[in-house]
Amino acid sequence: MIYQSTRGKEQVDDLHAVLQGIASDGGLFVDPAPESQPFDWQACLQCEPLDMAKMLLGHLLPGFRDMDALVERAYNGKFDTPELTPLVPVGGAYALELFHGPTSAFKDVALSVLPQLIRAARKQLGEEGETVILTATSGDTGKAALEGFHDVEGTRIIVFYPEGGVSSVQRRQMVTQSGKNVSVCAVKGNFDDCQRGVKQCFAELKNRPGLSLSSANSINIGRLAPQLVYYFIAYASLVKNGRIRTGKRVDFVVPTGNFGDILAGFMAAQLGLPVGKLVCASNENRVLTDFFHTGVYDRKRDFVKTDSPSMDILVSSNLERLLFCALDRDADAVNRCMAALETEGEYRLDESVMQKLREHFAAYACTREETRETIREMYEKNGYLCDPHTAVGFYAGKQYREETESNAPLVVLSTASPYKFSGAVLESLGVTPSVDEFDRMEQLRAISGVPIPKNLASLRQAKELHHDCIEKNDMISYVLREAGKGENE
């Protein structure tokens, strides 16, 4: 399958799209128009979760040989439930629990597969030397990528995270990661600085001899494609349990920062899945909510550190893929938007384009106080313990239902274990959290009775291995230094 850059200057096959991560012109790779590649979505719904993944990935990435074996290696024995992402009734809605993988966050679904795809692409294309995986993280991607890529032959992974911009557990997960091909580095800045720095590395180092770069962020289509799977899992579960008949639309609420998770829902809809509204749920960094309301994407605003740090983002990379679709695949128009965002800090879409987008998307934002109130309410009224990101989703879902009176089933994507944010959850429940992050987990377990995920409980004994911290302008030199280690080992 040929993938095209959103900025129009490059077309590559699916193997190269995954291996490159980002297009040479700075754009993101998108698949052909879905009507040119029909997909039997109803047959997919009849499959078990792993077979759904095989069918979906085989359709989106047909150049990979033996996709079935890649999926089996990616998932077998790594998730604590055969459903991968179970659907749980909560009040009058559903929580799609995406945190049952090895790092207790939704990124595991995709980042268990991506290392298998990159290794397979390297083999099929006869690549020599190392592929250096550059990753910016607002919290969860970093550990999930490290878990997937550590000690994978032919790769070196470098993860950048904002100093002070992730939860204490998220930081601990990353800095204790072992592996001979692993580098973890704090950046004095926010996630947007990390993300911008990674893109600059791709732009400035793309032609450097002997250096092959790729990405584990959702700018990589190989990271994005597996995220479609859990939309199909959720819909199939509703059909299987008699909640809906095949063909009835289902609304999905997605806590959103970089726009990849919700874009996967849009892609699922393009393949035929009966998706109703995709509700974009933002925290106080409400740049996406404002965009859907006004048609202006404006990053010129104060950056707010919140209880949901994985959503503390002002530049949502994956929105570029949606723009490409909304602008009738006009790469020149996308280029103008991206240039305006870079030079002026904003771009504006015509109301006719926004009306087209609002047919598929709604958007709401949630304050810190509303987030904490929702955590408490979900626990006291429904006995459901959720993390701050999921709480933002439930709040947005409630607002959406009250405003629209939609009677479609409502599925909220639950993106992380509450134990990754135990301090904020405890405070929301009216409990003073312990100073020690692991004692906080025990406090939360004692109150709720919900078991602590083994991968998080074991962090107490883990040794911190990574201590690097750099200025945001030093990322390129850091990449060159760490990438050079592979040549000296």
Active site positions, annotated:
107
Helices 351-358, 319-326: axis angle to 10 degrees equals 110
Residue at token pair 């707010």: 304
| Burial bucket for residue 302 (CB in 10 Å: 0-12, 13-18, 19+) | exposed
Using alpha carbons, list the distances in angstroms from residue 436 to 422, 439, 440.
Answer: 11, 5, 6
Neighbours of 381 (CB within 10 A): 10
| Separation between Cα atoms, residue 150 and residue 404, nearest integer Å | 46
Q: Are 455 and 102 contacting, i.e. CB atoms less than 8 angstroms apart?
A: yes
Q: For residue 332, give the nearest of 110, 6, 2, 74 by alpha carbon.
A: 6
Q: Which phi and psi (to 5°) does residue 376 adopt?
A: -65, -45
Q: For residue 181, give the nearest of 152, 204, 203 by alpha carbon.
A: 152
Q: Which two tokens stand for residue 430?
A: 């009216």
Q: For residue 175, give the nearest of 137, 217, 215, 219 by alpha carbon.
A: 137
Q: Which two tokens stand for residue 362?
A: 């709604």
| Separation between Cα atoms, residue 209 and residue 135, nearest integer Å | 21
- Angle 148-117-218 from CA coordinates, rounded to 5°: 70
| Separation between Cα atoms, residue 63 and residue 314, nearest integer Å | 35
> What residues form DSSP beta bridges with 157?
133, 182
Neighbours of 145 (CB within 10 A): 30
Q: Are 279 and 251 contacting, i.e. CB atoms less than 8 angstroms apart?
A: yes
| Separation between Cα atoms, residue 281 and residue 393, nearest integer Å | 5
Q: For residue 149, give the nearest of 242, 250, 220 by alpha carbon.
A: 220
| Separation between Cα atoms, residue 405 and residue 360, nearest integer Å | 16
End-to-end Cα spacing for the chain: 37
Segments of 260-339 assigned E as strands:
275-282, 296-298
Residues 142, 473, 470, 309, Cα dihedral to 10°: -40
| Separation between Cα atoms, residue 58 and residue 72, nearest integer Å | 13
- The residue type at 13: D
- The residue type at 381: K
